[in-house]
């Protein structure tokens, strides 16, 4: 793995091409990635990861741009990852984001990268965590991860973050819809963007009510609801202040366990992906499925056969199996 060695050394010396290369390896599931990650992993854990999610068009990219601007005024370096889990390629929306962020891209203290899902299964969440680890090891102080909040794949992506900002705006993606979509559940900070628009005050009040009437969070954090006008850069400092407060809150308590749980999730994703490749990649089991179906069995019968052949026929009697429990009673 000469390549992995070279790239990780270059990354640690501040080479941005190496940074981009490693993120591409993560994205492609390249087998050079694990070896290169292990060479930089001791540097992971210093950057703060802020996820920005919310309905399409809520103003996430505009806010990310503003957050980056304010961080830069404070001499903090910023790595930005725009993740589009539902797109099989880096499409138009992200391209538009890139143009808006042009001002930021000229700044050597800012790195911007978009990522899209190339495969249908959950690889994008795994790749997001990998990309964050790589940017973190590179040395960015602040990591910003933007993703559209619409479904499960996006929630998986957002769990890569230490602090989650949910950006809403009056109109299309109003509070009720956000609640239905479960967006409020993932929020550490709620942002009501487009506060210059009609309905913003109403949305603020609704969300504050929703936050306060909800059961107290197990982590004792009170979710702030903050108005912004991202285009005018208004309210952005208050958002950053909330991120800092949330960071201090986690650092005083749950941070280690939260990050550990996130690593556990990542291990599970890697195992899942590898298993899937092993099982179906070599067509070994694929052939078995075809044969089973030729015998006119149901998909369940064939699946049982396949599982039995993998697990050595011990299906149905794992440790602590409910039937054996019942027999003992």
Ligand X SMILES: Nc1nc2c(ncn2[C@@H]2O[C@H](COP(=O)(O)OP(=O)(O)OP(=O)(O)O)[C@@H](O)[C@H]2O)c(=O)[nH]1
- Please give the residue ranges that form the binding site for ligand X (CB under 6 A): 56-62, 93, 148, 193-194, 196-197, 229-231
Closest distance of CB 260 from Mg ion, Å: 31
Binders of Mg ion among residues 42 to 81 (CB under 5 A) are 60-61
Nearer to ligand X, 170 or 292 (CB): 170
Q: Does 114 bind Mg ion (CB under 5 A)?
A: no
Q: What is the CA radius of gyration of the chain?
A: 23
Nearer to ligand X, 21 or 195 (CB): 195
Q: Judge whether 30 and 19 are in contact, CB under 8 Å.
A: no
Partner whose footprint covers residue 193, from Mg ion, ligand X, none (CB < 5 to 8 Å by kind): ligand X
- State the chain's maximal CA–CA distance in angstroms: 70
Closest distance of CB 152 from ligand X, Å: 17
Closest distance of CB 42 from ligand X, Å: 34
Residue 10 buriedness (CB in 10 A; 0-12 / 13-18 / 19+): middle
Partner whose footprint covers residue 59, from Mg ion, ligand X, none (CB < 5 to 8 Å by kind): ligand X
Binders of Mg ion among residues 86 to 105 (CB under 5 A) are 97
Q: Judge whether 302 and 289 are in contact, CB under 8 Å.
A: yes
Partner whose footprint covers residue 230, from Mg ion, ligand X, none (CB < 5 to 8 Å by kind): ligand X
Nearer to ligand X, 85 or 292 (CB): 85
Closest distance of CB 229 from ligand X, Å: 4
Contacts with Mg ion: how many residues (CB under 5 A)? Answer: 3
Closest distance of CB 130 from ligand X, Å: 22
Closest distance of CB 77 from Mg ion, Å: 21
Q: Residue numbers of the site for Mg ion (CB under 5 A)?
A: 60-61, 97
């Amino acid at each position: 793995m000469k390549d992995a060695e070279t790239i990780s050394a270059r990354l640690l010396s501040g080479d941005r091409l190496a940074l981009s290369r490693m993120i591409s390896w993560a994205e492609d599931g390249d087998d050079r990635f694990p070896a290169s990650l292990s060479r930089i992993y001791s540097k992971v854990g210093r950057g703060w990861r802020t996820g920005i999610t919310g309905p399409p068009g809520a103003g996430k990219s505009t806010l990310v741009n503003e957050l980056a601007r304010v961080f830069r005024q404070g001499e903090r370096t910023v790595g930005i990852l725009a993740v589009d889990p539902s797109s099989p390629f880096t499409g138009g929306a992200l391209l538009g984001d890139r143009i808006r962020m042009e001002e930021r891209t000229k700044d050597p203290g800012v790195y911007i990268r978009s990522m899209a899902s190339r495969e249908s299964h959950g690889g994008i969440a795994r790749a997001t965590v990998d990309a964050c680890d790589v940017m973190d090891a590179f040395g960015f102080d602040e990591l910003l991860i933007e993703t559209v909040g619409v479904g499960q794949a996006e929630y998986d992506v957002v769990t890569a973050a230490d602090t989650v900002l949910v950006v809403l705006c009056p109109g299309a993606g109003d509070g009720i819809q956000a609640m239905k979509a479960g967006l409020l559940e993932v929020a550490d900070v709620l942002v009501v963007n487009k506060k210059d628009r009609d309905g913003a005050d109403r949305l603020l009040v609704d969300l504050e009510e929703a936050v306060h009437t909800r059961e107290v969070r197990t982590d004792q954090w009170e979710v702030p609801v903050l108005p912004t006008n991202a285009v005018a850069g208004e309210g952005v400092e208050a958002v950053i202040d909330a991120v800092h407060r949330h960071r201090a809150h986690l650092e005083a308590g749950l941070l280690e366990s939260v990050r550990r749980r996130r690593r556990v999730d990542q291990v599970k994703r890697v195992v899942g992906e590898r298993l899937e490749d092993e099982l179906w990649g070599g067509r070994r089991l694929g052939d078995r499925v075809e044969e089973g179906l030729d015998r006119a069995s149901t998909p369940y019968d064939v699946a049982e056969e396949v599982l039995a052949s993998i697990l050595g026929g011990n299906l149905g009697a794992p440790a602590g199996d409910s039937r054996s429990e019942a027999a003992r009673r």
